[in-house]
Structure 1
Amino acid sequence: MNFLKIARSAFAPLAVFVFLFSSVSNAQLGNPLEPNCAACDGKIDNIIFKKEGFGFPSFIEIQSRKGKRFASLYAGYVSSGQQFSISGASNFLDNKGTLGATIYISFDGGAPIALHTSCSEPFGPGTRVESLVVISATSRNGGLTCPVDDVPTPPGDA
C-alpha cells in the first residue's frame, strides 16, 4: 500500500483539527491557554511592551492627552528584545488610574501614533505598534486581557 496515502488518511483528522483550532481566536475559545484572562473592560490601566526587530535602540515616548494637557507615561531608549511597562497610576490626567482613551507613541521623535486603550477596539497581548508588541495588559474592570489576533499597526492619526 502507498505510504503517502496511509499518512494522509491517518493524519487528516489532525490536519482538520489544527485548521479549525487555528482559525478560531483565543477569545472565542474562552482562551484555554490563559484561563484567567478576560475581555478588555473599563480602559487599559497597565501595559508591558517588548521591542522587536534589530538595529539601534529607539527613543520611545508615550503620552496621554486630555484636552490640551499632556502626561508623559514613558520616555527612554529601548533596545531590541527589551521590555518596559507603563501604568495608569502615573497618568495624572485620569482620576481612575487608567491610561485614558488613547495613548500616543512616538519613535525617535517622529509623529505620534494613536493607540486606542479605551477597550472600544480589541486590545491585549499581540497588539502591535510598529516595532512594539504588547506582551501583557490589564484593564480596570476586566483584569488581565486575553491575547488578540494579529492587530495591524493603527494609522498615525495623532
Structure 2
Amino acid sequence: MVVETVGYNPRGMNVYDVLHYYGNCLTSGGPGYKNDDFLARIENMDHVENRDEPEVFAGTPFIRVREEDLPADAPPGTDLVDVFRTLVPEHRELLLATEAEVRRRIPGDLPRLLQLDEWHQPDLFEVPPSGAEVYRQLAEVLVTSDPRQYRPSEPPNTHWTNWPESGSL
C-alpha cells in the first residue's frame, strides 16, 4: 500500500509529496517513509518566498514545478499556503508522484488493486481505525484482492477545506 500526501512544509521550505509505503514486498527500506520518499516540488522556492517575511509570497510571476512554469495567481504578501493551494485544481498531476516515483520501493510487476483519490477520513482522535468504515473496507480489499469490497456509504471529506488546520502547530 502506498499513501501519498502533498503539502506545504514551512520548516522544509517547500511543497513536498511524501510517499508512505506499507506491505510485505517492499524492495527497499521498512514500512513508512525514508528521506528519499520526500519529493520537493517547487524548484524556484528562493524566488517564491519573501526573504524578509517567511511563509509569505514574494510576488514572482511563476512557480516552477517539474520544469514547468505555472502562473502564480496571487498578489505579493499572500500566505504561501494559500498560493500553493491555487495550483492544485489545474496542476494536481504535477504535484503528485509519477508512476515511476510511486513504484521506486515496490515490485514493478505488482498490479494496482485500488486507487483512492478521496474518501471519508474519520477523526482518529474520536474513532479508531478499526471503527472506521474506510479502513475496514480497505482491509477487506487487501485480504480478498477484490476492489469491489470498497463500497463507501459516507461522503468523501479529504479535501483540504474540511481540515483547514491540518499540519499547523
Q: Which has the larger radius of gyration?
A: 1
TM-score of the pair, normalised by structure 2? 0.25
Q: Which structure dedicates a bigger proportion of its chain to strand?
A: 1
- Report the TM-score when normalising by structure 1: 0.26
